[in-house]
Amino acid sequence: MANPRSLDEIEEDISSIKDDLNGGCFEYLPISEVDRSQIMLESALAQWVLTKLTLTKKSMPGGELLINDFPTFSHASSGFLGAVAALQSSDSGLFSNRRLAALFKESFFKKQSEWPDLVVSDSAFLMCVDTYSKGLPPQLYRDSSPELLTDWDGFRYVIGQLLGSIVSDVSPNKNITLRLDAISSIFYELFKNTHDHARTGINGETIKDSRRALFSRYYSKTQLVELLRNKDKGRFNQAESHVASLLGIYSESRIPPLSPRSVVGIVELSVMDSGPGMAAKWLGRNTEDGNVQDEFSAVMECFGKGQSTVAGGGRGFGLWKVLQHLKSMDGLIRVRTNRVHAVRQFSSLRHVGSDIQPEMIERPKEALYDWRRGFGQTQSEYPLMRGTLVSILVPVEDV
């Protein structure tokens, strides 16, 4: 079976695997065959890899996917999707022997420790393997210690390096530079959430194959215009409709265009983990057979200011700040966790779902909306996905 080529195909594929595990043989295609022009697809495929390996590894015939050619596989796993697959599969019986798996991990994290290099690409990422002694990047953890997560200043440096790695012209005349503090705050809140909640299960047990990642991607205006103009405008998903609005491209689907702007590209920032999922962690139970609306409400609680989790009694995740910052940047957020698939965009719908504070400042409510509908908090049916993926889109403009 081919890799999914859209966010909708990811959902369809996971649903089909659940319905027929015996038919769910997992095949890796060459990473070059992934359609990287699709907005948010690469990070979504990484979560798909985690989910599909979890669903299929018990049903796969022994030895079918064994990896025994280290140089070839190491080259194929140089990108984000390949790295997620390789690092996950090293604990899933897909390497031909433990020595080969250990060799790959050692090589990968040695190279990652030297990041950033001088190469400018359209994407960059950092991976964490929590149960591996060398699996925490020093850029995020002081002395690579699991208890020494870097502070906000450290994250601001990392985000600056990520942006410099993917946007060749990060200069003072770009709004992305002016918004570095806000973007750093978003990333810090999102990643700290994985540090606090995604490394352990719903009962506090250590997740032995815990993986976490930061991913960044830059889409140029030229790429985006070509993608959107070659697509049926009536079939734009939420992210495509949002970008079309920012670029002034008319969409027959949901969102009218904004007034012309000097948008030169879009930055995607994503945080992914392989934990129990936001809803499961908040509720303190598995969510596969529960009420999907309860899961959605639990995720909304995660965005609540100053709330405390049921499991562990900690304070709120602080993710409410993400919505405030995104509104100031005309951004979008997508959340995929457990059976929840939610979105909030702050382009043409920036005033929807907001409160006027006593000081006459408009602030967004802690609310996300159903991905398929684009508005409203009644959740559609989605398959169970492993972990949590939170992605944001931020426009890059000349100012």
Percentage of the chain exceeding pLDDT 70:
72
Look up residue 147 and give its two tokens: 């208890």
Q: Is the pLDDT of residue 284 over 50?
A: yes
What angle, rounded to 10 degrees, do the helices at 180-197 and 320-328 form? 160
Length of the chain equals 399
**What CA–CA distance (Å, rounded) separates 128 from 107?**
14
Residue 339 and residue 35: Cα distance in Å, rounded? 25
SS3 266: strand
* pLDDT tens, position by position, 80-130: 888 888 787 666 555 556 777 788 888 889 999 988 876 668 899 999 999
What's the pTM value of the predicted model, to 2 decimals? 0.88
- 182-210 pLDDT, tens digit per residue, is 899 888 888 998 999 999 999 999 998 89
Instruction: Specify the pLDDT at position 86.
Output: 79
pLDDT digits (tens, 9 = 90+) for 139-186: 999 988 998 999 999 999 999 999 888 886 655 556 777 888 889 988
pLDDT for residue 23: 45
- Convert the pLDDT of each residue in 228-270 to its tens digit: 988 876 788 999 999 998 888 764 444 444 455 688 899 999 9
Say if residues 296 and 379 touch (Cβ distance below 8 Å). Answer: yes
pLDDT of residue 84: 87
Over range 359-369, report the average pLDDT: 67
What's the rounded Cα separation, in Å, for the pair 352 and 375?
A: 9
